[in-house]
Amino acid sequence: MQHKARLQGLRWAPLKQPITFVLEGFYVPPGYGSLLFFLALLDFVVALLGNGTVILIIIIDRSLHRPMFVMICNLAVCDLLGVIAVTPRFMIHFLTGQRRIAYSHAIAQAFCVHTYGVAVQTILCAMAYDRYIAVCEPLRYHSIMTSTRLIFSCALAWFIALLCIGVLFYFHIDVPLCGNIIQHVYCSNRVILNLACLSMTWTLSTSVFIVIAFSYIKILQATVTKGKADSSIRSKAFQTCASHLVVYVLFEIAITIIVVSHRFPSMSQNIKQFCSILFAIIPPAVNPIIYGLVSTELRKSVIKLFRLTVRQI
């Protein structure tokens, strides 16, 4: 009994610095590392080029200095944060097989990943408010969505995200850890805190869903009511809200897949790992394409910049 108690004490003894985590990562069959690295690199480059182009176009084209495009620019910055925080780590894993990550790097990656996850939702929430004003109060839109209110909305979205994650990490950063194996592809607060027998809540996601759902219910009501007198209102509402709604639904589907995958213990570990990174690799790569396809103004600005660049070459 004493020997057993001694073993349990050793097993649960808190780790001391310097701590190095070991990421479980993917099981990469021999010979497939280079192929997986290339696919990850392709996604990374598409996300960087797509979001970088969106940010650049919105900055240099003064005609796009409007609330909707400024918020799209903020979302593109957020997408860059997510893809840069996650993708390079498993690209290194595919290419070299490296699984170890220092404690400070793990905390930094976890902070960036969670900030991305929360900021996407708060920015989409701010965008839903903007779309609500644009459709439901078109005559008062410019008086309501002033430059001051726009800056405040964007700043508030980032502040809420940073505050929530900052507070979360502040309370848990010094919690003693009872293990250093992270059963994941990247570091997140949830998996690190699982080592300390703690868990996270999804309060913010629910709040954002309520705000966005309320906004779109009001938009739908306004569209149906005003659309009886002017059929063009429906098409304008669709053009205004379609991209935002698609981006939000895409992100929520990715998050839902993560949650659902953890409900099936018998699922392949590689499939679970792939599901866990969908939210950080698919939306950042696809979002610029969605906004480019739906927004005529943004698409025209991109084509204009491309033609000017070709002429200069």
Please give the chain's pLDDT, 313 residues, in tens: 444 444 344 444 555 566 677 777 777 778 888 888 999 999 999 999 999 999 999 999 888 899 999 999 999 999 999 999 989 888 888 888 777 778 778 888 888 988 998 899 999 999 999 988 888 888 888 899 999 999 999 999 999 999 888 877 776 666 655 554 555 555 555 555 554 435 444 677 788 888 888 888 888 887 877 766 666 667 777 777 888 888 988 888 888 887 787 777 777 777 878 888 888 889 999 999 888 877 888 888 888 877 877 777 7
CB 257, CB 276: distance < 8 Å: no
User: Which domain covers residue 43, as residue numbers?
Assistant: 20-312
Kindly state whether residue 208 falls inside one of the protein's structural domains: yes
pLDDT digit string, tens, across residues 229-275: 666 667 777 777 888 888 988 888 888 887 787 777 777 777 878 88
Kindly state whether residue 15 falls inside one of the protein's structural domains: no
Kindly state whether residue 175 falls inside one of the protein's structural domains: yes
Question: Residue 147's domain is classified under what CATH number?
Answer: 1.20.1070.10
Kindly state whether residue 301 falls inside one of the protein's structural domains: yes
pLDDT at 45: 95
Structural domain count, the chain: 1
Kindly state whether residue 79 falls inside one of the protein's structural domains: yes
Query: What is the distance between the alpha carbons of residues 8 and 243, in angstroms, rounded to a whole number?
Result: 54
Kindly state whether residue 14 falls inside one of the protein's structural domains: no
Encoded tokens for 232: 């063009």
Encoded tokens for 150: 């726009």
What string of DSSP letters covers 80-129?
A: HHHHHHHHHHHHHHHHH---EEEHHHHHHHHHHHHHHHHHHHHHHHHHHH
Query: What is the distance between the alpha carbons of residues 179 and 195, in angstroms, rounded to a whole number?
Result: 6
Kindly state whether residue 112 falls inside one of the protein's structural domains: yes
Predicted structure pTM score? 0.82
Kindly state whether residue 2 falls inside one of the protein's structural domains: no
